[in-house]
Amino acid sequence: MRIGILGYGRFGRALGALLHEAGHAYRAWDPVAEIPAERLVGGPSELAETSETLVLAVPIAAQAAALAGLRPHLRPDHLVFDVGSVKSGPCSLMDAQLGAAIPHAGTHPLFGPVSLARAERPLRVVLCPSTHHPAAADRVQTLFEGLGCEVLRQSPEDHDRVMATTHALTFFIAKGLLAVGAGAELPFTPPSFHAIARTLESVREDAGHLFAALQNQNPFAAGAREGLLEALSAIHQSLAEAVAEGSDEQQLAIPSLGERSPILQETRDNIDALDQELVALLARRTELVLRAGRAKAELGLPVHDPERETAQLQARRAWAHEAHLDMQGVEDVFRAVLRASRAAQGR
């Protein structure tokens, strides 16, 4: 499939790499971003001329102008879709500017450059079909499934409602925590904060620049923020009243997740959960190994690198020693992982 990417920012580049790995030819145009010469076209006209499918990978606020510049060059056999984090506005925009004449659909890939670099899986994409072009949605779904993505269909409004209470609120809470210094270098933190710290890191690394768009372009985000602030204000007031009146503070406890299991069952459940995480990490590692194999093939290098494997095992023995684990046992585990990696590459 010949694909044109309009907008070559962080996500446009990452999507291009994903398309390249899947064997799709793509070209790109962006008036300000640096684009490799072999991918660069002279402008929207050439991008449309050399592509069958066109991806709008520009900021949401710039979509109207980008689509207006592209529209005169589009043909009825083109397929257009956007990759924005908000869907109501962009889908309405495409319906208005492209209508029944040009097949189109809205999408929101639920991954970004950092998650792709880390080989996090599964890759999920929300697909919002246009009522004018149900077949276009099928073509977009086929494309993303060919990239290894799970595709979930929703209306633009349902998508934005979900994102308002998840994506937008996560960014809102993260910005508030950072504003009070929660993301600063701290000498120690309790385990309950570790997951929040990872969220703060993810927001800042992967999509911190999206904050304003998520809050202002999603029609349901303001209501979600107001609901959260009202709930926090009520909790704050209840805590103050409990102290002043000497009431039972147990009534303010966070609701229990249910009756706790006996200690053995609870421990086994935790082990199962950790093992599930390990399997997910092994899947990510395999994806990275395959990516490295493709890079080696392009350079004409052999897949098997005994010196590299020896250095890896030595490093992991050192890590085991630092963690007070049996070094030989950890080495045996990683030898098995390396065997599985070679098998995944057919070696």
Low-confidence ranges of the chain (pLDDT < 70): 206-208, 246-252, 254-262, 347
Residue 253 domain-assigned (yes or no): no
**Cβ atoms within 10 A of the Cβ of 324, count?**
6
> Are residue 209 and residue 150 in the same domain, yes or no?
no
Report CA Rg, the chain. Answer: 24
> Are residue 184 and residue 201 in the same domain, yes or no?
yes
**Cβ–Cβ < 8 Å for 48, 69:** no
**Cβ–Cβ < 8 Å for 32, 55:** no
**Cβ atoms within 10 A of the Cβ of 52, count?**
15
Domain count, the chain: 3
Q: For position 267, what pLDDT does the model report?
A: 80
Q: Which amino acid is at 162?
A: V
Residue 232 domain-assigned (yes or no): no
Distance, CA of 294 to CA of 301 (rounded, Å): 10
Alpha helix (H) ranges present in 50-133? Answer: 63-70, 88-98, 113-117
Of the three residues 207, 227, 247, the one that is the final residue of a domain is 227
Of the three residues 128, 154, 180, the one that is the final residue of a domain is 154
> Are residue 37 and residue 88 in the same domain, yes or no?
yes
Residue 271 domain-assigned (yes or no): no
pLDDT tens by residue, 11-30: 999 999 999 999 999 999 99
Residue 260 domain-assigned (yes or no): no
Distance, CA of 29 to CA of 106 (rounded, Å): 20
> Are residue 210 and residue 82 in the same domain, yes or no?
no
Residue 265 domain-assigned (yes or no): no
Q: Which domain holds residue 169?
A: 160-227
**Cβ atoms within 10 A of the Cβ of 49, count?**
13
pLDDT tens by residue, 97-115: 999 999 999 999 999 888 8
Q: Which residue has the tokens 């992982």?
A: 337
> Are residue 34 and residue 144 in the same domain, yes or no?
yes
Phi, psi of 208 (to 5 degrees): -60, -30
Residue 269 domain-assigned (yes or no): no
Token pair recorded at residue 265: 């069952």
Distance, CA of 195 to CA of 257 (rounded, Å): 18
Residue 114 domain-assigned (yes or no): yes
Q: Which of 286, 182, 169 is nearest to 220 (CA)?
A: 169
Residue 61 domain-assigned (yes or no): yes
Token pair recorded at residue 7: 């907008």
Q: Which amino acid is at 280?
A: A
Three-state SS string across 62-86, please? HHHHHHHHHHHHCCCCCEEEECCCC
**First CA to last CA across the chain, in angstroms?**
30
**Is 215 strand, coil or helix?**
helix
CATH number assigned to the domain comprising residue 26: 3.40.50.720
> Are residue 39 and residue 118 in the same domain, yes or no?
yes
> Are residue 142 and residue 32 in the same domain, yes or no?
yes
Q: For position 75, what pLDDT does the model report?
A: 97
> Are residue 211 and residue 292 in the same domain, yes or no?
no
Of the three residues 110, 138, 154, the one that is the final residue of a domain is 154
Q: Which residue has the tokens 């409990």?
A: 242
**If 0-12 CB within 10 Å is exposed, 13-18 middle and 19+ buried, where does residue 276 land?**
exposed
> Are residue 148 and residue 164 in the same domain, yes or no?
no
> Are residue 128 and residue 148 in the same domain, yes or no?
yes
CATH number assigned to the domain comprising residue 303: 1.20.59.10
> Are residue 39 and residue 131 in the same domain, yes or no?
yes
> Are residue 205 and residue 62 in the same domain, yes or no?
no
